[in-house]
Amino acid sequence: MIIIGSDHAGFSLKESIKKHLEAIPMKVADVGCFDTNSVHYPEVADLLVKRILSGEYHRGIMICGTGIGMSITANRHKGIRATLCHDYLTAKMSREHNNSNLLVMGGRIIGIETALNVVDVWLSTEFQGGRHQQRLDLIEKFSS
């Protein structure tokens, strides 16, 4: 079970990822957007983040044009570890070291095959804990 969302610039990639996950099969909740009409990415990110913070979903995927705007928006919230991933290594490390609970990608940046590989790696890689948990605790400590 996962929650997904995008703005207009990430719409097409969101649809492909949704299809990919549903074929596993995995249940996917979609917070929009639902077509390529222009929307404001912070509004979509806010909808999705709130449903993770409430505990309804543990992990989510978000896509905007570059992935930057949605990453900035999501990481304003304590407890959200949104990681902008572009390839196998960033996907793997974002889980092993950063315990990413929100995968962000740039729909105008990444190709479809790489994006689906990023999703698969991110979903199947475990957090390593230990010294990495200490570092995540420091992030929380330094957050205002």
Min CB(125)–ligand RB5 separation in Å: 25
Which residue type, as a one-letter code, is found at position 29?
A: A
Residue from 16, 30, 51, 65 touching ligand RB5 (CB under 6 A): that is 65
Closest chain position to ligand RB5 (CB)? 69
Q: List the interface residues with ligand RB5, window 4-33 (CB under 6 A).
A: 7, 9
Residue 141, helix vs strand vs coil? helix
**10 near 36, Cβ under 8 Å?**
no
Of 63-71, 92-100, 115-123, 124-132, the segment contacting ligand RB5 by CB under 6 A is 63-71
46: its two tokens: 């806010």
68: its two tokens: 């930057």
Cβ distance to ligand RB5 smaller for residue 77 or 132: 77
Q: What is the DSSP letter of 64?
A: E
Cβ distance to ligand RB5 smaller for residue 5 or 69: 69
Catalytic residues: 64, 97
Of 20-28, 66-74, 80-88, 121-129, the segment contacting ligand RB5 by CB under 6 A is 66-74
DSSP 70-133: HHHHHTTSTT--EEE--SHHHHHHHHHTT--SEEEEETTTS-HHHHHHHHHHHHHPPP--THHH
What is the Cα–Cα distance from 105 to 111, expressed in whole angstroms?
Answer: 10
Is residue 41 a contact residue for ligand RB5 (CB under 6 A)?
Answer: yes
Residue from 68, 93, 123, 136 touching ligand RB5 (CB under 6 A): that is 68
Site for ligand RB5, rule CB under 6 A: 7, 9, 41, 64-66, 68-69
